[in-house]
């Protein structure tokens, strides 16, 4: 028993089949490694999978978010609503353009952005009670579907309409995912219809992966064209179209763009991952249901919601550890689980508690009572499609054991 534990369960293990490996090898043998025919195939299939007209593949979700807000014309000094409980990327892309994130608290149950608080934050901004210029123009909102549980995009759309905002959907966790739209009485996927642009992540531990990668999808031809152009130095033609029969070596620089294009080598993986996306989601859902059942009797553990009006992507399985006699034991549990060979994580320390947003920009904790309390209880357990029953049982058994241990130590004290 190496290290004193009976099993090692990583936080994530990508699911890679022979078909994916063969496609990467075929790409290597083809002589074309950068953006080309495999990226085009990946984009077309992805647009179809989410029900959007256009999809532009890029090298990260961060790049997709950056290109989305740039294409929407975000300017220095403007303001965008961003949840405080999110990853760095959601807010940093707003800062890239000199605009400001207006941070919003999260909903206690779903952990997604609380639209009532968004309303309140706009009111406080106008009253000059936030560390932002009270006269600044609020132009957009970036909802995040935390862990793969979608926000109700009907509500987001209604909120955005009322305040005259564009929507960029951060769906880094939400492929494939859907919500039941009360408005249209139909299932709507992340990326389908509501947002101006939706951004997905294919980072190594995401629901489908290309190692690093992302996709921006939209129904708007002009936004798609701007995103595509800015993803490759602002050039009039990409390399693949220049080297095609009938293509010309010539191109023009139309804007000072970025270097965000996805290579064919990565798309080779993506094409096959995409075809398996629903199968992989179902495997995660089965594991998530099994966690929900086997942890239902664990004291001090609060389980994630699984509402029937959502198709949950189950990118993450986030539990909450209630405090024990007023003491927070989350970090102690993570340490003990790691000692037992189990990889865990926390999603996330809220943005307003990071030095840049707290000390430099001046956001204070009392503006975010829910996120400030809840994040200290959050613990993400391993969840990935190829996790075995034995691995999951080991996680459940060990979690219960270390919880009991912590409880008894405190009772004895």
| C-beta closer to ligand PLP: residue 39 or 403 | 39
User: Contact between 54 and ligand PLP (CB under 6 A)?
Assistant: no
Closest approach of Cβ 88 to ligand PLP, in Å? 8
Q: Measuring CA to CA, how many Å separate 317 from each of 111, 149, 300, 308? A: 12, 10, 16, 17
* 51 contacts 276 by C-beta, under 8 angstroms: no
Burial class (CB in 10 A: 0-12, 13-18, 19+), 4: exposed
What's 245's DSSP letter?
Answer: T
| C-beta closer to ligand PLP: residue 89 or 329 | 89
What's 357's DSSP letter?
Answer: I
| C-beta closer to ligand PLP: residue 117 or 212 | 212
Pairing of strands 197-201, 214-218: antiparallel
What's 191's DSSP letter?
Answer: T
Q: Return the structure tokens found at 196.
A: 């101006």
Q: Return the structure tokens found at 67.
A: 């290109």
**Binding residue for ligand PLP (CB under 6 A) from 101, 148, 214, 270?**
214
| C-beta closer to ligand PLP: residue 114 or 340 | 114
What's 100's DSSP letter?
Answer: E
The SS3 assignment for 30 reads: helix
User: Contact between 383 and ligand PLP (CB under 6 A)?
Assistant: no
- Per-residue binding string, ligand PLP, 347-376, x by CB under 6 A, is ------------------------------
User: Contact between 61 and ligand PLP (CB under 6 A)?
Assistant: yes
Instruction: Map the footprint of ligand PLP across residues 78-107, applying CB under 6 A.
Output: 86-87, 89-90
| C-beta closer to ligand PLP: residue 312 or 336 | 312
410 membership: H or E segment, kind and range:
helix 389-412
Of residues 131, 144, 47, 37, the one with CA closest to residue 90: 144
**Binding residue for ligand PLP (CB under 6 A) from 144, 280, 295, 340?**
144
- Per-residue binding string, ligand PLP, 239-278, x by CB under 6 A, is ----------------------------------------
Cα separation, 28 vs 176, whole angstroms = 29
Closest approach of Cβ 87 to ligand PLP, in Å? 4
| C-beta closer to ligand PLP: residue 38 or 315 | 315
Active-site annotation, residues: 206
| C-beta closer to ligand PLP: residue 174 or 403 | 174
- The span of 58-66, 286-294, 322-330, 398-406 binding ligand PLP (CB under 6 A) equals 58-66
Instruction: Map the footprint of ligand PLP across residues 148-207, applying CB under 6 A.
Output: 170, 172-173, 201, 203
Cα separation, 187 vs 314, whole angstroms = 17
**Binding residue for ligand PLP (CB under 6 A) from 15, 60, 84, 377?**
60
Closest approach of Cβ 115 to ligand PLP, in Å? 18
How many residues of this chain bind ligand PLP (CB under 6 A)? 14
- The span of 57-65, 176-184, 367-375, 392-400 binding ligand PLP (CB under 6 A) equals 57-65
Cα separation, 152 vs 338, whole angstroms = 35
Closest approach of Cβ 354 to ligand PLP, in Å? 15
Q: Which residues pair with 317 in a beta bridge?
A: 381
For 255, residues 6+ apart whose C-beta sits below 8 A from its C-beta are 229, 230, 234
Cα separation, 62 vs 79, whole angstroms = 18
Peptide bond into 176 cis (omega under 30): yes
* 170 contacts 144 by C-beta, under 8 angstroms: yes
Closest approach of Cβ 273 to ligand PLP, in Å? 14
Closest approach of Cβ 201 to ligand PLP, in Å? 3
Closest approach of Cβ 218 to ligand PLP, in Å? 17
Closest approach of Cβ 40 to ligand PLP, in Å? 20
| C-beta closer to ligand PLP: residue 228 or 347 | 347
Q: Measuring CA to CA, how many Å separate 152 from each of 180, 218, 352? A: 8, 19, 24
Cα separation, 304 vs 146, whole angstroms = 11
The residues that touch ligand PLP, with contacts defined as CB under 6 A, are 60-62, 86-87, 89-90, 144, 170, 172-173, 201, 203, 214
């Amino acid at each position: 028993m190496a290290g004193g534990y009976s099993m090692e369960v990583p936080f994530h293990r990508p699911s890679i089949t022979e078909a994916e490996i063969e496609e990467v090898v075929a790409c290597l043998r083809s002589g074309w490694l950068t953006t080309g025919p495999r990226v085009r195939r990946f984009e077309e299939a992805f647009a179809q999978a989410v029900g959007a007209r256009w999809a532009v593949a890029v090298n990260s979700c961060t790049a997709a978010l950056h290109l989305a807000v740039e294409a929407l014309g975000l300017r220095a000094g403007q303001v965008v609503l961003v949840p405080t409980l999110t990853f760095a990327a959601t807010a940093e892309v707003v800062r890239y353009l000199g605009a400001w994130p207006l941070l919003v608290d999260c909903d206690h149950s779903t952990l997604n952005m609380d639209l009532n608080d968004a309303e309140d934050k706009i009111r406080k901004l106008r009253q000059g009670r936030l560390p932002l210029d009270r006269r600044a123009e609020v132009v957009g909102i970036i909802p995040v579907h935390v862990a793969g549980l979608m926000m109700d995009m009907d509500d987001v759309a209604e909120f955005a309409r009322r305040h005259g905002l564009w929507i960029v959907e951060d769906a880094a966790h939400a492929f494939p995912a859907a919500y039941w739209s009360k408005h249209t009485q139909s299932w709507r996927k992340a990326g389908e219809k509501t947002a101006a642009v939706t951004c997905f992540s294919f980072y190594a531990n995401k629901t489908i992966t290309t190692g690093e990668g992302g996709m921006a999808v939209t129904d708007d031809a002009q936004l798609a064209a701007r995103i595509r152009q800015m993803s490759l130095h602002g050039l009039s033609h990409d390399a693949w179209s220049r080297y095609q029969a009938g293509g010309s070596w010539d191109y023009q620089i139309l804007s000072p763009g970025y270097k965000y294009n996805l290579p064919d080598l990565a798309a080779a993986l993506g094409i096959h991952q995409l075809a398996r996306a629903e199968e992989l989601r179902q495997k995660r859902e089965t594991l998530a249901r099994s966690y929900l059942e086997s942890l239902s009797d664990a004291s001090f553990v609060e389980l994630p919601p699984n509402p029937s009006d959502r198709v949950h992507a189950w990118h993450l399985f986030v539990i909450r550890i209630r405090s024990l006699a007023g003491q927070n034991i989350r970090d102690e549990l993570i340490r003990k689980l790691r000692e037992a060979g189990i990889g865990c994580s926390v999603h996330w320390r809220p943005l307003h508690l990071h030095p840049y947003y707290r000390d430099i920009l001046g956001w204070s904790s009392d503006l975010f009572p829910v996120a400030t309390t809840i994040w200290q209880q959050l613990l993400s357990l391993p969840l990935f499609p190829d996790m075995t029953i034995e691995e999951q049982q080991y996680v459940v058994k060990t979690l219960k054991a270390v919880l009991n241990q912590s409880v008894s130590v405190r009772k004895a004290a």
